[in-house]
Amino acid sequence: MEMALPVVLLGIGIHLLTHLLVPLNMRFSTRLGILAQPGERKIHNGSIPEAGGLSFALPIILSQIVLALFLPQPERGRMFWLAGVEVATLILGFMDDRHDTRAWLKFLLQIGIGVAMYLIGFRVESLTNPFGSEIMLGWASFPVTLLWYLVVMNAINLIDGIDGLASGICVIVCAVLLIVGIKGQNLIAAALSAFLMAGNLAFLRFNFHPAKIFLGDTGALFNGLVIAAIATTGTQQYKGITTMTLIIPLSVLAIPLIDISLAVLRRLRFGNIFVADKAHLHHAMLGLGLSQKAISLIAWVVTLLFGLIAIGFSFSTKRILFLVLWGLLALGVIMAYVVMQHGRKK
């Protein structure tokens, strides 16, 4: 409780500073030519500044460093190391926004980020089992951790194709994780969730349709990294919050995870998962005649519903909640597939 006020004040600072930095970021991106141009796989008109994630990522990293100064070891060291990996992720995203890094090279660098997160202690060591005691991963912790970071970072990146869609989903995800973190008395999870929510909420003002600036890989990869990191703090810092490990983030990230799963299957059929396409869920919804605003709002509502179920997990581990969740996920996959098929026909 004694750290609640600093977290709140830092969160407010992130929100206000992001509002001030976005216009500067727009001028900075324009001057360097970091612009999203209209194209075959693009749905926007005109040149839009990218690398928008710098606007909130830099204040968040600074706030994490300030907060770390008030923490005891080993939490202080872990927060400093996390800030270092976040900076590396920002550089990767920024270079991709500016130079269009080859997909396979970006994938290898993302693997490096996952390895770094494992080494500094943000790792998946157990999985929640609603039918019994938690499952300890042992040696499998490393590959599961690596897969977790790759999936979440790319899920947020791939869903970032509609104005405000990814930013809004991140706000909702962080709000859910914040509630769970507070309930579990997990300071690191609560602080990271509050910081990321504050930054994305401010950025959303400029990113909602019609967007004045895009997240770019700079913001999407950063968002994915922090969300994935939040999910790995439960078993590392405090006991009693293990239900947050994977189950809750998976629940709230339902839409981007469904989209990336279908994208991988679709691209495997054509023999190359690194070839980008214009067949994502939001593209299919556009094909049905829905506007960008409508698609974002629908996705936010669905994410919120999954979030409410996820919060229920933090208060109860009853099997019925688990079955309802996976039933909804299965229904979501089926509906997404149907929407995409109809969208292609349109």
Q: What is the sign, positive or negative, of the torsion defined by CA atoms of 143, 147, 153, 154? A: positive
Question: Which has more confidence, 163 or 111?
Answer: 111
Where does the pLDDT of residue 40 fall: very low under 50, low under 70, confident under 90, or very high at 90 and above? low
The pTM for the full model equals: 0.82
Please, what sign has the CA dihedral across residues 176, 178, 184, 189?
Answer: positive
**What integer is the mean pLDDT of 190-218?**
93
Identify the residue with better confidence: 255 or 277. 255
CB 272 within 8 A of CB 103: no
Residue owning tokens 């349709």 = 209
**Residues paired with residue 289 on neighbouring β-strands, in sequence order:** none
- The pLDDT value recorded for residue 254 is 62
Residue 169 above 50 pLDDT?
Answer: yes
- Distance between terminal CA atoms of the chain? 54
256: left (phi over 0), alpha (psi -120 to 50) or beta: alpha
* 102 CB burial (10 A radius; 0-12, 13-18, 19+): exposed
Structure tokens at 199: 């930054």
Which segment of 95-99, 112-116, 157-161 scores lowest on mean pLDDT?
Answer: 157-161
Q: What pLDDT does 238 receive?
A: 36
Average model confidence (pLDDT) for the chain? Answer: 79
pLDDT higher at 298 or 45: 298
Across 324-338, average pLDDT: 61
Q: Which pLDDT score, from 0 to 100, does residue 335 have?
A: 60
Q: Is the pLDDT of residue 35 over 70?
A: yes
Q: Which residue has the higher pLDDT, 246 or 92?
A: 92
Highest mean pLDDT among 12-21, 236-245, 282-291: 12-21
What are phi and psi for residue 170, nearest 5 degrees? -65, -40
Task: Name which of 57-66, 183-192, 228-237, 290-299 the model is least confident about.
Answer: 228-237
**Confidence class for position 236, pLDDT limits 50, 70, 90:** very low
* Pair of tokens at residue 299: 């996705």
Picking from 121-135, 151-165, 184-198, which range would have the lowest pLDDT averaged per residue?
Answer: 121-135
The residue with greater pLDDT, 265 or 174, is 174
Specify the range with the lowest mean pLDDT, choosing from 36-45, 128-137, 171-180.
Answer: 36-45
pLDDT at 256 over 90: no
CA distances for 298 relative to 66, 165, 189, 281, 288, angstroms: 37, 10, 27, 12, 14
Q: How confident is the model at residue 45 (pLDDT cuts 50, 70, 90)?
A: low
What is the rounded distance in angstroms from the CA atom of residue 165 to the CA atom of residue 207?
9
User: Nearest 10 degrees: CA dihedral of 212, 280, 305, 179?
Assistant: -60
Which amino acid does the sequence have at 134? E
- Confidence category of residue 259, pLDDT binned at 50, 70, 90: low
Quickly state the pLDDT bin for 235 (edges 50, 70, 90).
very low
Rounded mean pLDDT, 110-129: 88
> For the chain, where are the alpha helices, taking DSSP H only?
4-32, 54-68, 75-99, 103-119, 141-159, 165-183, 187-207, 216-231, 234-237, 247-252, 254-269, 281-287, 292-315, 319-345
Tokens of 105: 């090279």
**pLDDT tens-digit profile of 210-226?**
889 999 899 999 999 99
Q: Measuring CA to CA, how many Å separate 221 from each of 88, 113, 323?
A: 11, 11, 31
Please state, for a pLDDT cut of 70, what percent of the chain lies above it: 69
Task: Give the pLDDT score at 300.
Answer: 82
Residue 1: pLDDT band with limits 50, 70, 90: low
Q: Where are the domains of the chain?
A: 4-253
DSSP 3-state assignment of 36?
Answer: strand
The pLDDT of residue 199 is above 60: yes
pLDDT attached to residue 237? 38
The answer to whether the CB of 299 falls within 8 A of the CB of 169 is yes
